[in-house]
Amino acid sequence: MKKRLILVVVVLFLLVYSVSAVTFNPASTKIDDIVPGKEHKFIVTAVSSKTVPEEIKLNFDFFSTYMKEYITMKPQEFTLYPGETQNIEIAMKLPSSISPQPHTVVIVQETDLSSAFEINFEIEGERKYDLRLSDVSIPDIQKDDSLFLDSKLTNFGNVIVYAFPNVEILKKDESLIGKINYQSKVQILPGQEYPITLQFFENMVPGFYKANVVFDYEGRTTNTIEKEFQVFEEDPNRRELIQGEILTLEVELNQGDVETVTYQIVKDGLIVHTESQRGGDIEVSTAHFEPGIYQIILDINEETEPVQQTFSMRVRKKNTFLQSWLLIISIFILLLLITVAISKIPFKEIIELNKRIKELNRNIKKKEKKLHHIADSAHKVADHVHKRRKQ
């Protein structure tokens, strides 16, 4: 199944690259005499090979957006007609704080990501690599749930780094049950804190576990953080909520009216929230709850006797890093499919058909004029005959 999926993705990429209708010359520009604070200008030419006009909008790719405020393109948006070219003036003025390392800036055509050109330069200076894993949070989960690890990376160095997770999930006896080692990289700029959520896809039986979390970057590794967590038996009555949603506690009565209801919300053995109210159902906002599993204890004081109810709740993090990437990937694939679909439209045939329709319209108009002329002549003859009869 995985091989088929990879094959489909590769085919999509090949199709999109094969229908690229805009090329840039030069495709790659190297600036050797780069000086921060000094403006550098050069020309890149866009060339069209399409048979119809195309709206061009240039932008920075995901890993080049840090250069957005230092590079201008004139024009950045324009219409490129079939067979025509458009010169684009690139002006670049770097700050003195630019990181001392090689840089590759990729500029893409927004509606056709395969059409791109790049700018290469290198800043001299001493390079300091210091990426640290500053925080890891792992909630307890129930059997058959997905495990999410929230972590935070901080770049204390002076260069941009690209990091990959390398996480081991182990049982209490230190036996390895799986790893998290995505191949997609994350970019961390100097001085930047970067939160990232990782997902472990394998199911785990109830028990105690730990995770050894570390990131690889630029041939180096961050510090390692070890975190323990627990997998519980499945609770069929558990509530599933996203941070910010409202938890509604429905009070079930045995008999009589409720005088007071006291509820406690417990996480890892600690009470994180408690409150009492007179009768009725209870609503609690989860906006300030950390992701994880909670136990809810209801103490209902009825007229006749007190009643206690318990159930569990899991709060999931809102807008996780993984969800954002899935959205980006989905949009990207959609753009690929749209590009492929547009490329298959027979534009030449449409243009030829349009010419034929125009020619037919002209012929019809000519024939209409002839018919009007014949009709006028017939009308004049009829008038003449009518006048002769009267005489």
Nearest to 144 by CA among 238, 227, 241: 238
Q: Are residues 21 and 95 in the same domain?
A: yes
Residue 205 lies in a domain: yes
Pair (222, 311) in one structural domain: no
Are residues 186 and 87 part of one domain? no
DSSP 80: E
Beta bridge partners of 199: 148
**What is the rounded CA–CA span in Å between residue 312 and residue 241?**
11
Using one digit for the tens of pLDDT, what is the confidence trace for 15-57? 443 345 789 999 999 998 888 999 999 999 999 888 888 899 9
Claim to verify: residue 6 and residue 115 sit in the same structural domain: yes
Of 62, 90, 122, the residue at which a domain comes to its end is: 122
* C-alpha span between 364 and 370 (Å, rounded): 10
pTM of the model: 0.59
* Nearest Cα residue to 95 out of 61, 67, 127: 67
What's the rounded Cα separation, in Å, for the pair 44 and 27?
A: 8
The SS3 assignment for 42 reads strand
The whole-angstrom separation of Cα 386 and Cα 371 is 22
Is 391 part of a structural domain of the chain? no
**Which range, of 168-177, 280-289, 381-390, averages the lowest pLDDT?**
381-390
Secondary structure (3-state) at 218: coil
- The count of structural domains within the chain is 3
- Domain of 290, in residue numbers: 239-316
Which residue from 18, 10, 75, 13 is spatially nearest to 49, judged by alpha carbons? 18
Q: What is the pLDDT of residue 389?
A: 52
Residue with tokens 């005489």: 391
14 and 42 housed in the same domain: yes
Same domain, 40 and 105: yes
How confident is the model over 112-153, as pLDDT tens digits? 878 899 999 999 999 999 999 988 988 888 887 888 899 999
- If asked whether residues 105 and 190 sit together in one domain, one would say no
| CATH number, domain containing residue 213 | 2.60.40.10
User: So what's the pLDDT on residue 8?
Assistant: 43
